Amino acid sequence: MRYFDSKVLDNQQVADDIFVLRVERNGAEAKAGQFYMLKSWDKELTLMRPISVFKAEKDELWFMYRLVGKGTQRLSLLEKGASIKLLGPCGNGYPCEKLSGKVAVVGGGLGVPPLCETSKQLTHAGVTVDAYLGFRDVLFGVEDFEPWCDSIFVSTEKGEEGYKGFVTDLLKPEGYDCVITCGPEIMMRKVAAMCAEANVPCYCSLEHRMACGLGACLGCSIRTQNGMKRVCKDGPVFLSTELLWNS
């Protein structure tokens, strides 16, 4: 992990409040499921903002983010050539190199983008990947999964695109050697419960408010079956069997 300056290559709005930011990679590492702390401000805001790696291209890091508050609003204003500070790669990421056979990646909302790089790294590790991608109404990023996935299942809540309902309605964990999930906690809890019933290992990527992103402030600590863990350093990826969920 290192702190470095980079340059914005592109920052495009791709859906209502969703943006894709491309920055110079400067040799930075990016394991599937890891994230970077980003900052394009000096004094107005104190903290960097955690955003997952959407794609790690040869010379570029791509991030997909939703505009929700002051920090992501500042990011959305960045133009080509602007300076941006990065800290990372942060967190443990998914153990793609240890997986084999057939894996399902299950994403919901802004949990979808990190699963794109994950699908790529799984494919490179010789794993067959199916993607289950759930959205509220508008799809984003789906076509980016096409090179890496055998099958892609899409759902929207009211059926605007794909299956009408939740993506968990489509998932049958017993058909997979492992399930990887990222998205709203309510969705991941459901996926974890389905996997437990089918006796299939399940990795979940947790989201938590973060301050340092380094493992130093303990602000992102959660209780787990194995004691207190920092989401930024010991996670964000945890085996579902380790999680207590309501801590």
Ligand X SMILES: Cc1cc2nc3c(=O)[nH]c(=O)nc-3n(C[C@H](O)[C@H](O)[C@H](O)COP(=O)(O)OP(=O)(O)OC[C@H]3O[C@@H](n4cnc5c(N)ncnc54)[C@H](O)[C@@H]3O)c2cc1C
Task: Please select the residue that binds ligand X; options are 72, 76, 123, 128, rule is CB under 6 A.
Answer: 72
Binding site partner of 68, from ligand FES, ligand X, none, Cβ cut-off 5-8 A by kind: ligand X
Near ligand FES in 177-216, by CB under 6 A: 210-213, 215-216
Is 71 a binder of ligand X (CB under 6 A)?
A: yes
What's the chain's length in residues? 247
Q: Of 220, 229, 236, 237, which one interacts with ligand FES (CB under 6 A)?
A: 220
The answer to whether 120 contacts ligand X (rule: CB under 6 A) is: no
Asked whether 212 and 88 are in contact (CB, 8 A), the reply is no
Helices and strands in the chain, H and E counts? 3, 16
CA distances from 94 to 8, 32, 86, 239 (A): 27, 6, 21, 10
Instruction: Look up residue 52 and give its amino acid.
Output: S
d(CA 12, CA 18): 9
HEC assignment per residue over 126-185 = CCEEEEEEEECCCCCCHHHHHHHCCEEEEEECCCCCCEECCHHHCCCHHHCCEEEEECCH
Q: Which is nearer to ligand FES, 11 or 205 (CB)?
A: 205
**213 touches, from ligand X, ligand FES, none (C-beta below 5 to 8 Å by class):** ligand FES
Please state the closest distance from residue 211 (CB atom) to ligand FES, in A.
Answer: 5
- Judged by CB under 6 A, does residue 92 bind ligand X? no
Within residues 9-48, the interface with ligand X by CB under 6 A covers 35, 47
- Note the residues at the interface with ligand FES (CB under 6 A): 210-213, 215-220, 230, 232
